[in-house]
């Protein structure tokens, strides 16, 4: 008889108390982390690409 449910304070979703945390909020957080990682990677690639173009144009001139 361990079917206790806990209600999340943030998204108001009820989940079983066996889980370490709200599965809905955890999924949202993982998605946010994935988006942030992708954005950082894109910024790094953009800076690296811009730097590479600067070096190439500097060599050609």
Which residue, 23 or 52, has its beta carbon nearer to Zn ion? 23
Place of tokens 């945390």: 21
Query: What's the residue count for the chain?
Result: 61
Minimal distance, residue 22 CB to Zn ion, in Å: 3
Q: For residue 25, state whether it binds Zn ion (rule: CB under 5 A).
A: yes
Locate 2 and state its tokens: 């361990």
Separation in Å, CA 45 to CA 35, 38, 39, 53: 15, 10, 10, 12
Q: Which of 1, 2, 3, 10 binds Zn ion (CB under 5 A)?
A: 10
User: Where on the chain is the footprint of Zn ion (CB under 5 A)?
Assistant: 8, 10-11, 13, 22, 24-25
């Amino acid at each position: 008889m361990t079917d206790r449910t806990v209600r999340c304070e943030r998204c108001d979703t009820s989940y079983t108390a066996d889980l370490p945390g709200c599965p809905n909020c955890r999924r949202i957080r993982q998605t946010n982390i994935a988006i942030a990682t992708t954005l950082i990677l894109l910024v790094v690639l953009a800076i690296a690409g811009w730097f590479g173009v600067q070096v190439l144009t500097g060599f050609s001139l």
